Structure formats: C-alpha cells, structure tokens
Structure 1
C-alpha cells in the first residue's frame, strides 16, 4: 500500500515526555492530527525529575517552532546558569556567573516544561494510562499498537518517544541499553534557604560539581527552594545489594557512602548526610554507538529511544530538536515515508556524532574538575 499523506495519516506518539509533546505541539500547529499515549495514569501522577537547561541551538529552537519560547522564558530560571566547579575539599576551582540577560541555557524544572507543553495541546491529545506492550504489523504499515490493558489501535506512523527502554525501538532495532559502569544516587533537599542555608551558600543559585576520579557530587538547584544532589560512583549496577543493603535502607546507604567519601570535607559531605527523605538509585545506561536501524516507513524514534547517552546536558535538547525536525519533515513532505527518510537522514548522523563524543562521558562525571574549564558540565536529566 502507498504511504499516506501526513495530514491524512494516523500518527501515534508513544511517550509524553518533552520530545513526544514537542513533536505533537508542532504537528498540531500545522494542522496535522496526532495522538500521544503515555503509561502514567495522569499528568501529575509522579515527580518528573530535576532541572533542565535548554540550549539556544536546539531546545530553545524547538520551543520557538512550537510557539512557546516566550512562555518558556517567563518560567525559566536564568540565575540557574550559574555553575561552580569544586574540589572534594569544597574549594571553588571555577565559577561561571551568567551575564545579565544571558539566555544561552536557562533552567526549567522538568515538570514545569511538561505542563507548558501539555497546556499547548488540544484537549484529549494525550491518552493517559496506556502502557504499550508491542508494535506489530508490516513495515509499510499500518502498524498495530497493543497496550497492556488489552486495547489496540492502528497507526500509519508510530513515533517512539518512550525513553531509554523503549518498547517502540524493538520494532526497528534489537539494540538494548548497556550499563556504563557509573551510577547516580539521587538525594532531595527542601526549603533550602531556611533548612539548608550552608548548602545553599555552597552551591549557589545554579549547580555545583566536584569529583575525585572515582566518585563525584553534582548539586542542582530546582525551583521552589528545592535542590537535587546526584551522588555519582563507579560501581557495579547492583552495588546496593552487593553491599548487603536495600534501596529503602537510607541510614545504611548513608553510612556506606560516608565511608566511600571519607576523604571529602565535612561541608561537602552535607550533600550526603542532610537530604530530606530516601535516596533514589539511578544507574546510567547508554545505547551502543553508533545506533542506527533499517528504515521503516511506519516507525521512527526520537530522543533517548533513538540515542540514549550519558547525562551530560544534551539529552532533552537533542530530543526536542529531533521532535521539531521530525514534525517539520511531516509538514513539508508529500508522504509519511518521505518525511521519515528526510528526518532520519539528518538525525542519525547528528546523534551518532554526538554519541561518539560522549561515549565514555560517564567517566567525565567523576573526573577531577579542570580549573580552566568554566562551561557547564551538563545536568542529570532524570
């Protein structure tokens, strides 16, 4: 069967993250209907994670195409562009303070970005509580999407925006993410100015990073007086159980960490000891490099589903750039097949080049900071 025109096609996006929602928004702006399916029960069912820095050349470009750049600027924290590089003793080795009016990479909470995008979509665009089980059907379409609730829908184009362990990816690629050897442990801090004034002064208004070669700390201010700290270690993926601990054993994990970070200064150790609540285990995975697949006229991928990399500040930006380029390819192409080809022709080489640069980037998260390097290290985008 011939590939349908985009405006007459049944387009399904799997995943209501920044990439999937950006793609849907741009398609709707150009009169192309689309449905987004997400496994979350609703838009507010879980914490969306930390702060994101959106770059002028990709994330902000995508928001401009979505007609949302000014709304983003109204929400963004420009002071969040501040970056401190420190040593384990807490000495500041390098300090970037953003200029007044600097818009290179302002910060926004992931949840705020998601709600900004959701508000821009037509009512009913996102179907919540729909967990994808499988994608089946011929390569030239239509594809059948089967969900875990027993329902199924047909689609002429399936866009996998469903993250690291994408179910859509299996329809075009056998690749699976591999553990990088580096794991994050996320710690949350609330009411920074009142409850944690010493840490507030240590970290500043943006983020701060320190490493000793084997382990590191990355602190990131969020909106509303909150902060997240990522405790970064070169460890086995099952390091918690291997040390006789459980994920919910906060005190046991804290005691273990204090032994591992024993050479760090007391003020830096407050990022390990003073958190509010439990830790969250977040091992880092990445797709093999390069990750490509044989073209299918009815399935394509964007963001982490296409090119999962270490969290060095590029993930959400690349996902949103992918989303914008795919949506605009659909707007400008005669058929779905043509649009997917045109999109993948630029996306795959770009993502391969970036992934090759960052292939061992997880190690950089632990490195002793270079005092001559004042640019942002990147943000843990969880």
Structure 2
C-alpha cells in the first residue's frame, strides 16, 4: 500500500483525504494548527456547479452540503458610493452557486474522515526528496518518509518551496477586513442595505464589500490599490486609528456607505493580496505535488476554494485508479495545471474589474 501524506487541513487537503479513504487508500493529514477550532475559518463561499459541487458529489458529501447551503446568499447588490442608492439587485434563478460558511464546509469534511486522520499540532519544518518519494521533517525533529507528499498548505507552502521554489508576490491590492456582529438586531439599516448575500460599492480604485454569513454576521472588506508598505506606521491594534484612516481614504462617499466602517464591531485585519506568477507550472516530480493555493494562489474572487476541492478530489481519484503514484500525479497535473493557469488569468482580470468604476462588473 502506498503511503500518502497531505500537508494542510484546508478544504482541498480534506477533500483529497476523504476521497482517498472512500477508495480504501491510507492517508494522513498533517496540520500545524493545534485543533480544528484554533482560529476562525473565514466567511462565506459560493460553491460552483462545475467545480466545488462536482468535488462534493465525488466525495459523497453533496447532501450534507445542501442541508446547510443558502441559495438566497447568491443575491448581489451594488450601491452607488456617492448616493448610497441600490443600483443593481440581482438573485440568479435556481441555485447554481449556493453559499455556505467556510467553517461549516470544513466541519462536513472533517466529520467524514476516519478518527485520527488529521494530526493536529504537526508543523512541517522541512520537505525533501528521497528517491521516488519524499520526507517530512517536523518541528519536533521527527521525520517520516512517504511515497507521495501533497502540498495543500496554502499561500506560503513549504512543499512548494521544495517542488518549484516559487513564492507569492504582492498583487498591488490590499483588503482591510472588519465586520458587523448580530447585524439584523444591532445594525438593522446596514443589514437591510446588504440584503441576503453580497453588497458591493466602488469608485476610484476603491471598493467596500459586505457578505452575510449564516450566523447573522456580516463580513466586510475595504479594498483598494496601495503600495506594499502603505500601512507602515499604522497600528492595526488601534481600531480607532484604522477607522479614521479608512474614513479619510473614502472621503466623499455617502454616509450610508461609510456606516459600514463607522459601525463595525471589533478590530480591523490587514490582508494584503498575494498571488503566484502566471503561469506557475512544473515538471511532474516523483514524491511531490500541490493543490489549491499552494499550486495556484489567485485573488479571492470566489474560485479558490472551489478549485482546491476539485484539485483534491481529482488527485485522489487518480491515485486510487492509476497504475502507479507517479502516473496518477502525471494524470492529475496534466488537467490541473492548464485549468489553473486559465483561471488565474481570469482572476487577474477580475481583480481589475473589482476596482473599476463600472458597477455592472461585480467580480466579488
């Protein structure tokens, strides 16, 4: 039996492990975080019919997904930043891209795995080649060899460092994240303005995006072009200072729009957008491969989680059915790499659309 290790317990890595176990393949997932609840799992995701939903069907978890999915979350609103008026309000017919909280989706995947599959608190210190396989060395000094190590370890992947050596670069765009808790009760005007799904308003290379989650929280992002060092001297632990900076940056926008910034609960988080160069590709290498953000880090425009899960389930299916690990990886990468390159090009264009003055191009 081939030994397979997945580094990273994100959606792509867990989807890969799930399908491997469905085929009776032994797999271990190594995750540096101490537990599943070690940190918040982000906001809401729209599951696409041709990627994320395909992966969920392959993983035999589609019904569990549908029990929690929110088709109403597909609603998209655009506000005029100068007047605060709703200029676009659209909800697609059917449920091609129903929303689900990232944390809920991760819980579905974790709950589908055999006990002990995920080794929490296992940070990888080094990844090295060993003939036709690979070795993982952990922070505690322990080392284990595997026939295949799958890098599902995100933007700053250690597995990628060994396979390609390529590192993400700053995109020129930054997000500042904040939010509204118990929005329908505590912020009813903003909740009504947001609607049931996503609200966007933008002008002059700047945008504010707000997205509902299932818990009544609204996750917000101030998005703008900025040099990489734009926040030098700005203390993100000082919420009042960050709020004042954003209100000055968005000066001239309607008070009803700026209320998202003024009324937010808690602090702000700085999230500069990094991307991998396009194309990011490699020659099939024995013992190593990548999926998700480790393989194709793109702007967060609704495709990353979908692609990561499709990557994971396609890789697992290939590993379960091909004549050898190397052949399985070759089959997987032959499909995954061209797909990711084309999607990354589209996302680069979508990021430009997100910050254009055209309210009709709602790329988020």
Which of the five TM-score ranges fits, normalised by the shorter chain? over 0.9
Q: In structure 1, the residue corresponding to 2:231 is in which secondary structure?
A: helix
* Matching of residue 10 in structure 1 with residue 7 in structure 2: no
* Matching of residue 206 in structure 1 with residue 192 in structure 2: no
8 Å contact from structure 1 (residues 139, 296) kept in 2: no
8 Å contact from structure 1 (residues 158, 298) kept in 2: yes
Q: Distance in 2 between matches of 1:58 and 1:78?
A: 17
* Matching of residue 295 in structure 1 with residue 284 in structure 2: yes
| Alignment partner, residue 156 of structure 1 | 147
2:30 is matched with which residue: 28, 32, 37? Answer: 37
TM-fit CA distance, 1:264: 0.6
- Could you give the per-residue CA deviations for residues 124-166 of structure 1, whole angstroms, max 9, x where no partner exists? 000000111111133522x110111222211110000000110
- Could you give the per-residue CA deviations for residues 62-114 of structure 1, whole angstroms, max 9, x where no partner exists? 00000100100001111111111222132222211243xx2211111111111
8 Å contact from structure 2 (residues 201, 359) kept in 1: no
Q: In structure 2, the residue corresponding to 1:84 is in which secondary structure?
A: strand
1:91 is matched with which residue: 85, 88, 94? Answer: 85
| Alignment partner, residue 293 of structure 2 | 304
* Matching of residue 344 in structure 1 with residue 333 in structure 2: yes
TM-fit CA distance, 1:361: 3.4
* Matching of residue 377 in structure 1 with residue 358 in structure 2: no
Q: Distance in 2 between matches of 1:154 and 1:363?
A: 43
| Alignment partner, residue 115 of structure 2 | 123
Q: Distance in 2 between matches of 1:96 and 1:9?
A: 49
* Matching of residue 331 in structure 1 with residue 324 in structure 2: no
Give the TM-score taking structure 1 as reference length. Answer: 0.93
2:268 is matched with which residue: 276, 279, 290? Answer: 279
8 Å contact from structure 1 (residues 164, 308) kept in 2: yes
Q: In structure 2, the residue corresponding to 1:229 is in which secondary structure?
A: strand
8 Å contact from structure 1 (residues 36, 125) kept in 2: yes
1:111 is matched with which residue: 98, 103, 112? Answer: 103
Q: Distance in 2 between matches of 1:298 and 1:74?
A: 38
| Alignment partner, residue 351 of structure 2 | 362
Q: Distance in 2 between matches of 1:61 and 1:295?
A: 25
Matched residue pairs, number?
363
Q: Distance in 1 between matches of 2:352 and 2:249?
A: 17
Structure 1 regions of 5+ residues with no counterpart?
1-7
TM-fit CA distance, 1:377: 2.4
Q: In structure 2, the residue corresponding to 1:20 is in which secondary structure?
A: helix
Q: Distance in 1 between matches of 2:206 and 2:216?
A: 26
2:311 is matched with which residue: 312, 322, 328? Answer: 322
TM-fit CA distance, 1:354: 1.2
8 Å contact from structure 1 (residues 166, 305) kept in 2: yes
TM-fit CA distance, 1:360: 4.3
Q: In structure 2, the residue corresponding to 1:108 is in which secondary structure?
A: strand
Aligned residue runs from structure 1 range 17-36, under 5 A? 17-36=10-29
| Alignment partner, residue 81 of structure 1 | 74
Q: In structure 2, the residue corresponding to 1:219 is in which secondary structure?
A: strand
- Could you give the per-residue CA deviations for residues 158-198 of structure 1, whole angstroms, max 9, x where no partner exists? 00000011000011102110000100000021111110000
Q: Distance in 2 between matches of 1:359 and 1:265?
A: 29
TM-fit CA distance, 1:367: 1.6
8 Å contact from structure 2 (residues 202, 359) kept in 1: no
8 Å contact from structure 1 (residues 211, 367) kept in 2: yes
| Alignment partner, residue 3 of structure 1 | none
8 Å contact from structure 2 (residues 129, 287) kept in 1: no
TM-fit CA distance, 1:213: 2.9
| Alignment partner, residue 184 of structure 2 | 193
Cα RMSD for the two superposed structures? 1.2
